[in-house]
Amino acid sequence: MNILFTESSPNIGGQELQAVAQMKALKKMGHSVLLVCRENSKIAFEASKFGIDITFALFRNSLHIPTVWRLLGIVHSFQPDAIVCHSGHDSNIVGLVRFFTWKHPFRIIRQKTYLTRKTKFFSINHFCDEVIVPGTNMKTHLEQEGCRTRVTVVPPGFDFQELYVDSRNSLPPSVLSWLASRRGCPVIAQVGMLRPEKGHEFMLNLLFHLKMNGRQFLLVDCGVWFT
């Protein structure tokens, strides 16, 4: 099968890393995989490490005509059997592309990795053939909120060998030094992006009150900081 992935985000997080893992697995199974993303995006850099074919589009907004035109050419040459989208912007554009390429039918698969406060169902219900989610709770929520497109649960894959290797690596010296000096105090760890919908607003407020009570803590970060 020819499987096309679209990703309009210039940044990278769990959603984009999951897409790269899926493309790697599909490619290993013998499928032809192509990623369409923004030039100089972080997912392009990550995907290039694994020999995934990449081409670029602007993805300015969900009705960006130059991007629609660009994808029309890509669909004509690549002839995808399915296109996997990761956002409403992507699925809107891909839905328009399919309208103009009825001679080359393909399925549109919308993949949702997390829930936002208000999910928009227009593109999901009118453009997509399938919605893929990582768990049954998300499936139930989407169906109760008005998703009429079939929702299928596909648990995310884990590379346990890689996780094992990472677990054996030593922590940075600064973290080891801090842990050695904590005098038996408990360690609270939270992993994820610093975004309000991820619950970090609550955690940052909690850390503030711990500091006011004389507690000590260490923030260990990795990635790009935005003000």
Beta bridge partners of 152: 132
Q: Is the confidence at residue 120, as pLDDT, over 90?
A: no
Neighbour-count burial of 17, counting CB atoms closer than 10 A to its CB (0-12 exposed, 13-18 middle, 19+ buried): middle
What is the band of 226 on the pLDDT scale with cuts at 50, 70, 90?
very low
In the prediction, which pLDDT does 197 show? Answer: 61
Q: Answer whether residue 58 is part of any domain.
A: yes
Q: What's the CA gap between 86 and 119, in Å, rounded?
A: 13
In the prediction, which pLDDT does 206 show? Answer: 83
Alpha carbon distances (Å) from 162 to 12, 157, 167, 169, 220: 19, 12, 9, 11, 21
Same domain, 114 and 217: no
Range of the domain at 186: 170-227
Count the domains in the chain: 2
- 208 against 76, higher pLDDT: 76
Q: What is the CATH number of the domain that holds 13?
A: 3.40.50.2000
- Report which residue type is found at 35: L
Q: Is the confidence at residue 224, as pLDDT, over 60?
A: no
Q: Answer whether residue 163 is part of any domain.
A: no
Q: Answer whether residue 165 is part of any domain.
A: no
In the prediction, which pLDDT does 95 show? Answer: 92
